[in-house]
Structure 1
Amino acid sequence: MSAASPGLPAALMNASGAPAVDVDPFSIEFFEDPHRIHEALREAGPVVWLPRWSVHAVARYEEVRAVLHDPATFCSGRGVGLSDFAKEKPWRPQSLILEADPPAHGRTRAVLNRVLSPAVMKTLREGFQAAAHRLVDRLLARREIDAVADLAEAFPLSVFPDAVGLRQDGREHLLPYAGLAFNAFGPPNALRQRALETAAPHVAWVMEQCRRENLAPGGFGAAIHAAADAGAITHDEAPLLVRSLLTAGLDTTVNSIGAAIYCLARFPEAWAALRADPSLARAAFEEAVRFESPVQTFFRTTTRPVEIGGARLDEGSKVLMFLGAANRDPRRWDEPDRYVPTRPTVGHVGFGSGIHMCVGQLLGRLEGEVMLAALAARVGAITITGPVVRRYNNTLRGLERLPVTLTAA
């Protein structure tokens, strides 16, 4: 990396052959404005060394996708965060989906693929659409809202827990638990420490809800336990699969919907295009996921010595993937720093890619699409009316507050 790279010091070469870049991708400075540093990381080389946390990293689209699609070399079973489960104990029992490798991963993934299949999504669409329209009507009557708490959080919380079959009481634990899980993928910084210190009540409630007797018949949770009855998984594995669904199915959707509303409020031409053609709702949501990348990073661990991007990595090397940087890599996308709902977004890595693609992505896409369609049908303008506040998380990129005024069409 040259000294001319914007805002970053000149790099030294790591022994692996990767340029060293002294940045902290888990700092508040980075969370506030990752794009400048993403650009510098991409331009430094196909693989870089981050001495702050002693890890290699990939920020270009081609290398990020290569890592995602080679689970035999870049494994998840040793943890998809900075912690290496071969050397330290996980903070909670490992995920049977996110932190598992083939062949075990394929067996459990097949169960969730059936529970969350496209056919199942079709059965949910009408109810989700009605819920989205009801919420938009209520918010239009208020006009002045926080688009995070009142919309991006409120809508998934109005449909997702019921679809899973969760009890009504205690649902306030869902968002803190998911935020905790994603913070725990990061390094031992203040964010991770605070999350773990406050984890106990959220973890206890979630694990209790994952038990068969606490899940309503007909929901996703009951379907997972039914898979255990059929012998597809064990009865001990079923609660952990329900837990995986609760982790993957809420926070990423909340942040994705929030990102879409934030984009549409800032780009009036995009909002006008969606208003003129509400069938663009799915594309507008996908482009927001590419543009803002609510899931910013994940780790893998090398299972053997490997060369990638000219760097030579030893077995057991942690590799940090910058999904957000890959989604704005000009090598892959034309004008990547523009939000364009009509852009073909096939191939973005906002939900990951390969065998570990987000297990809740079909559900999140459905929720995002019906919400944006409901807004386009009833709202004439979305105007930001106050300071926008970021929510800090070691893995997720989202907003804490987004004050807006909704004007009826």
Structure 2
Amino acid sequence: MSAPGSAVSGVPHLDVDPFDMTFFADPYPTHERLREAGPVVYLDKWKVYGVARHAEVHAVLNDPATFCSSRGVGLSDFKKETPWRPPSLILEADPPAHTRTRAVLSKVLSPTVMKQVRDRFAAAAEERVDALIDKRSFDAITDLAEAYPLSIFPDALGLKAEGREHLIPYASVVFNAFGPPNQLRQEAIERSMPHQAYVAEQCQRDNLAPGGFGACIHAQVDEGAITAAEAPLLVRSLLSAGLDTTVNGIGAAVYCLARFPDQWQRLRNDLSLGRGAFEEAVRFESPVQTFFRTTTREVELSGAHIGEGEKVLMFLAAANRDPRRWDSPDSYDITRRTSGHVGFGSGIHMCVGQLVARLEGEVMLTALARRIAKIEITGEPKRRFNNTLRGLDSLPVTITPA
């Protein structure tokens, strides 16, 4: 048996720290280095294997029997340490348990349900654009990327009006916690008690409005599909999955369209490209940058031998710009065929909030393109650093109405 990542196993060692502030500020040169070093690399800093090419990331995501999630999708191995909160029944579970709980969420957030809420979501997007046109200059993150999902998703879920300010900080804690015990993770968990308490309380059946997504999840208890103890945890999954992906996805799309005015014009000329513009922003910016899996057995991946119980870090963002998979991967093109990108994951663990994110992204970008001629960035964009998510904290813009 060769040591993990030793020369014998043919896996190159890299001294890369993908959870370092300088990496977060500009990950692209390192992504290229990771992809070009080999199909599988070993990161000495955290003693984990890494995959950054599209083919290997896709392979790991689509083999849950070998690369499991139940030992944690962050750096922590749940077999060796206690999780910081009760594990997610969706994200941090394997079949057959995952299959049962996932079926419930797939039913609650089905394409049919999305069709039913579409008009309501589109009307809220129009209202948001009205408010933005009145302002002319605003922060595209706080006043748009966050404000729009917060105005519609918590209502659809059935949450009470008070306390919603905990929602975005909660999602940020969850995704920071997937990282190593660095400052970002420590501070997030230390600050998390009020957010966790709020979320735990809101996920209880009595606190959710009838007819919302949350109540529909609890109704599955009566059907015998899940237990009364599982229902609040599934509502919790929906809370982080349905909000952060959307906020960061819409933020990424507006940031892209403001930087690439030719693509903005394309969208204005053909509003049916709204979905494509959102999808390409998710590929191009990859709001969710990384996820881990743990090997359940010895496995060979693209010629590299990986032992049992090893953490494998998937660089989703690097895979989404892999020139082996995409033509001109570093250009933002809203007419690109984006199917196959891993911005929402792939396989059985594909993001449970993806249909909500896609619907909100599409109706928001369409509403903006219909009524706004120009989006200009008028101040320095500021990044929000997170161990797993890539997004902006602030994006000052000025719009010119059509």
Q: What range is the shorter-chain TM-score in?
A: over 0.9
Q: After the TM superposition, which segments of 4 or more aligned residues of structure 1 sit over 6 Å from their partners?
A: none
What is the one-letter code of the residue matched to 2:377? I
State the Cα deviation string for residues 27-60 of structure 1 (Å, max 9, x = none).
Answer: 1111111111100100000000000100000000
What is the one-letter code of the residue matched to 2:36? E
2-structure distance, mates of 1:203, 1:361 = 23
2-structure distance, mates of 1:205, 1:268 = 41
Pairing 1:214–2:212 present:
no
Aligned with 1:320: secondary structure? strand
Q: Displacement of 1:174 after TM fit?
A: 0.3
Aligned with 2:49: secondary structure? strand
Please report the RMSD computed on the Cα atoms of aligned residues, expressed in angstroms: 0.8
Could you tell me which of 342, 359, 367 is aligned with 1:349?
A: 342
State the Cα deviation string for residues 53-105 of structure 1 (Å, max 9, x = none).
Answer: 00000000000000000000000000000000000000000100000000000
What is the one-letter code of the residue matched to 1:312? H
Q: Displacement of 1:170 after TM fit?
A: 0.2
2-structure distance, mates of 1:253, 1:73 = 30
User: TM-score under structure 1 normalisation?
Assistant: 0.97
8 A contact 1:64–1:326 mirrored in 2: yes
Q: Displacement of 1:247 after TM fit?
A: 1.3
**How many residues are treated as equivalent by the alignment?**
398
1-structure distance, mates of 2:179, 2:9 = 23
8 A contact 1:297–1:321 mirrored in 2: yes
State the Cα deviation string for residues 169-225 of structure 1 (Å, max 9, x = none).
Answer: 000000000000000000000000000101110000000000000000000000000
What is the match of residue 254 of structure 2? 261
What is the match of residue 330 of structure 2? 337
What is the match of residue 23 of structure 2? 30
Could you tell me which of 219, 227, 244 is aligned with 2:220?
A: 227
Which runs of 5 or more structure 2 residues have no equivalent in the other structure? none
What is the match of residue 51 of structure 1? 44
State the Cα deviation string for residues 280-307 of structure 1 (Å, max 9, x = none).
Answer: 0000000000000000000000000001
What is the one-letter code of the residue matched to 1:401? S
Q: Displacement of 1:164 after TM fit?
A: 0.3
Pairing 1:283–2:276 present:
yes
User: TM-score under structure 2 normalisation?
Assistant: 0.98
What is the one-letter code of the residue matched to 1:67? V
What is the match of residue 105 of structure 1? 98
Could you tell me which of 365, 372, 379 is aligned with 2:365?
A: 372
What is the one-letter code of the residue matched to 1:370? V
What is the match of residue 3 of structure 1? none
Could you tell me which of 358, 377, 385 is aligned with 1:384?
A: 377
Q: Displacement of 1:13 after TM fit?
A: 4.8
What is the match of residue 201 of structure 1? 194
8 A contact 1:81–1:298 mirrored in 2: yes
2-structure distance, mates of 1:106, 1:16 = 35
What is the one-letter code of the residue matched to 1:377? R
8 A contact 1:82–1:299 mirrored in 2: yes
2-structure distance, mates of 1:17, 1:167 = 55
State the Cα deviation string for residues 334-390 of structure 1 (Å, max 9, x = none).
Answer: 000000000000110000000000000000000000000000001000000000100
Change (3 A) 1:297 1:14: farther
What is the match of residue 248 of structure 1? 241
Could you tell me which of 394, 398, 401 is aligned with 1:401?
A: 394
What is the match of residue 144 of structure 2? 151
Aligned with 2:397: secondary structure? strand
8 A contact 1:387–1:403 mirrored in 2: yes
Q: Displacement of 1:15 after TM fit?
A: 5.2
8 A contact 1:14–1:49 mirrored in 2: no
Identity of aligned residues (%): 71
Aligned with 2:174: secondary structure? helix
State the Cα deviation string for residues 92-125 of structure 1 (Å, max 9, x = none).
Answer: 0010000000000000000000000000000111
Which runs of 5 or more structure 1 residues have no equivalent in the other structure? 1-11
Pairing 1:75–2:68 present:
yes
Q: Displacement of 1:309 after TM fit?
A: 2.0
2-structure distance, mates of 1:267, 1:67 = 33
